[in-house]
Amino acid sequence: MRVVAVLSALLAPSLAGCGVVAQSVAGWREVVEVNTQDVARVDVQTVPLGAEVCRKDSYGGCGATGQGPWVDEVPVQVHFRRSEPRYAWLVMGMIADFVAVGTLVAVADKACESDTCTGVTVGGALGGMLSGMVDMGTLIFGLLRTAHDVGPREIVRPTEVTYRAEKPEYAPARADLELELQSSLRLDLTPLAVEAPTAVAFDRARAVLAVLPVTGAGPDDVRASLQDRLRAKVVGSGLRTADRGLTDAALRDAACTTSDCAVDVGRALAASHLLRAGLEVDGNQACALRLELVDLATEAVVSAAVAEGPCGDFGALDALVADALGRLFP
């Protein structure tokens, strides 16, 4: 028993710091890969000030709107590396210190037959306790200490957004932006007064019109009939149009209810212009048909016309459409 006591007394101080040694070998901190949500801030400036700004979403609508100057906050997913304490190793090291020392002290206490043996064993136990306290102190310090990033944060998605600005009497401005966590963008709107004459800009030989569904008042079947008659008259005048089935399907799939969305759909159909129509009806079956021709290159209305007349039968609808198109394309 004396031999067991002596060996325990000798091994207790030796094993007292095994947890600290193991932690030192493994490393007190580790670097982990992190993916999380963050916010990218975009400082949007408009010239002139006060333009309405829209951040386009994946469906072609407005994901967020503001008035320039505007600081937009875009939700993004980011990836980065973070340095933090090895909590698991700290706990295991502390447990190893206490278990090793406690076991040896218990064995030595049973085997010791003198005060000297007991004193040496208790000294080893105190060393082990001190080592365990070092582990515990490091653990507490690590828990209280804020983990820090190693290197920059990188945006995973979305990596690019599109902004559009518009203001009365100005041609809309549009720009794509490669996102960073802090970005700035300037949108310059051009006054309509300095644009080239629409007669020069419209090339009948190259134009492809996407005829949109007729909006406004009146029964659905009347507005659908007007859309068909508009398309037929446009084709009959020598102009080309996008297929109606493809146009209606694209508008339906995009859940398109705004002019911005219609512009994106028109571009997807390889059209050069949009033909928008609105119908107004009074109680005496008299109608006003409003037409607008939108250039998809500039998103500006390059021509507009209004025709008024009866709309109570098919012949009247044909006459109304012919009058409106004659005013739109003089």
- Alpha helices, DSSP H, located in the chain: 2-15, 18-26, 87-111, 115-144, 198-201, 220-236, 244-253, 259-268, 314-328
Q: How many Cβ atoms are within 10 Å of 222's Cβ, its own excluded?
A: 17
Q: How many CA atoms lie within 13 A of 166 on its CB side?
A: 13
330 residues of the chain, pLDDT tens digit each: 455 445 555 555 555 555 556 656 666 677 888 899 999 999 999 999 989 999 988 776 788 899 989 999 999 999 988 887 766 666 666 666 666 666 666 665 665 555 666 565 566 555 655 655 565 566 556 554 566 677 788 898 888 999 999 988 888 899 999 999 999 999 999 887 544 444 445 777 888 988 888 888 777 888 888 888 898 998 888 889 888 888 888 888 777 766 667 888 888 888 899 888 888 887 667 788 889 998 888 888 888 898 888 887 888 888 888 998 988 887
* Range list for CATH 3.40.50.10610 in the chain: 198-328
With a CB cutoff of 8 Å and minimum separation 6, the contacts of 268 are 250
For the entire predicted model, the pTM comes to: 0.42
What is the structure's pLDDT at 280? 85
Amino acid occupying residue 304: A
The letter for the amino acid at 59 is Y
Distance in angstroms (rounded) separating the CA atoms of residues 58 and 41: 19
CATH topology of domain 198-328: Rossmann fold (3.40.50)
Cα–Cα dist 296/65, whole Å: 22
CA dihedral of residues 104, 110, 114, 120 (deg, nearest 10): 10
